[in-house]
Amino acid sequence: MSRAIQITAFGGPEQLHLVDVEVGEPAAGEVRIRHHACGLNYIDVYQRTGLYPSALPLQLGMEGAGVIEAVGAGVTHLRVGDRAAYASNPPGSYSDVRVMPAKNVVRLPDGIAFDTAAGMMLKGLTAQYLLKKTLPVDGLQPGDHVLFHAAAGGVGLIACQWARALGLQLIGTAGGAAKCALALEHGAAHAIDYTSEDFVARVKSITGGRGVKVVYDSIGKDTFERSLDCLRPFGLMASFGNASGPVPPFPVGMLGPKGSLYVTRQTLFTHIATREATQAMADDLFAVVESGAVKIRIDQRYALADVAQAHRDLEARKTTGSTVLTP
């Protein structure tokens, strides 16, 4: 048996219930992992509200770290007793122990603590594919400007540091002076308080009127259209989230006069579709963390049983950096 957080109906944080669930033996291609920590992510909110629909009841949680307890047939990259971590579908990391596909589970280097891993797998792999694979036609070179919304959040603070390591001039937006200071402290070249400043005007001024090569936009509805106005000709609009609500339909024709822009909607799960891709991206993330170039800030910790409060704080924009739940 395992304690787990489950929903039986879509809705607010009050739908999150601590229940006991049966955990069996791993089938072929699966492992059983006992969690030491799991991560909180904004996707957990979309799944709880039903914005991303799934069958119910649903055990939540997409990110975790712990020790492998059992290995199913055909799994060769993990052994019983291994320290391991993952960002993975299906959800279920809000638990003591679970059985899951082994494909997205990787061995954790000894130098990375369980709580650090739980705070970085989903967010760090996302920063990895955004900054290294979600690129404009002519790529990104050191010195190039990019705009990154929610720069003081979980994905945001990792992206600020990684962008600095890559030599990029990351312009970060964040809600309030304290969050802007945090983004700057973590490598953003500029920070804009988009709750009080016109971020389009600020981006134009910072880039000498040219605009940025890429906008990484996880805010969605509230920022999408203005983000397009921050791009230079042939720039790339990389939409990857909907913290303020989904991006409404828009006429593709508007991308022409704005400078022949490119628009993409990215999701981590396409990038980690194979074990090989997962491992390569995780190795890149582990290297940048072990080098010290990217530090994982865990600014909030909650007991697993207090997950509803964690969701309330995340949705109320009260959190910064990563949030870890401890079983």
Ligand X SMILES: NC(=O)c1ccc[n+]([C@@H]2O[C@H](COP(=O)([O-])OP(=O)(O)OC[C@H]3O[C@@H](n4cnc5c(N)ncnc54)[C@H](OP(=O)(O)O)[C@@H]3O)[C@@H](O)[C@H]2O)c1
How crowded is residue 161: how many other Cβ atoms within 10 Å of its Cβ?
24
DSSP state of 208: T
Per-residue binding letters, 46-85, with ligand X (x by CB under 6 A) = ----------------------------------------
Only segment of 78-86, 216-224, 284-292, 296-304 that touches ligand X (CB under 6 A): 216-224
Sign (positive or negative) of CA dihedral 101, 123, 214, 52 = positive
How crowded is residue 209: how many other Cβ atoms within 10 Å of its Cβ?
9
Only segment of 6-14, 40-48, 70-78, 91-99 that touches ligand X (CB under 6 A): 40-48
Question: Which DSSP string do the residues of 221-235 spell out, in sequence order?
Answer: TTTHHHHHTTEEEEE
Question: Which DSSP string do the residues of 2-70 spell out, in sequence order?
Answer: EEEEEESS-SSGGG-EEEEE------TTEEEEEEEEEE--HHHHHHHHTSS---SSEE--SEEEEEEEE
Q: Which is nearer to ligand X, 26 or 154 (CB)?
A: 154
| 213 contributes a contact to ligand X by CB under 6 A | no
CB 29 within 8 A of CB 320: no
Per-residue binding letters, 226-245, with ligand X (x by CB under 6 A) = --------------xx-xx-
Tokens (6 digits) for 62: 């997409």
Spatial separation of the C-alpha atoms in residues 171 and 278, rounded to whole Å? 28
| Closest to 77 (Cα-Cα) out of 272, 275, 246 | 275
Only segment of 97-105, 217-225, 230-238, 287-295 that touches ligand X (CB under 6 A): 217-225
Query: According to CB under 6 A, which one of 6, 266, 278, 300 is a site residue for ligand X?
Result: 266
Only segment of 5-13, 30-38, 303-311, 315-323 that touches ligand X (CB under 6 A): 315-323
Q: Which is nearer to ligand X, 71 or 106 (CB)?
A: 106
Q: Which of residues 116-175 bind ligand X (CB under 6 A)?
A: 122-123, 126, 150, 152-156, 174-175
How crowded is residue 80: how many other Cβ atoms within 10 Å of its Cβ?
11
Only segment of 1-9, 67-75, 214-222, 249-257 that touches ligand X (CB under 6 A): 214-222
Query: According to CB under 6 A, which one of 3, 132, 232, 317 is a site residue for ligand X?
Result: 317
> Shortest Cβ distance from residue 300 to ligand X (Å)?
10
Residues that bind ligand X (CB under 6 A): 41-43, 122-123, 126, 150, 152-156, 174-175, 179, 218-219, 222, 240-241, 243-244, 266-268, 314-315, 317, 319
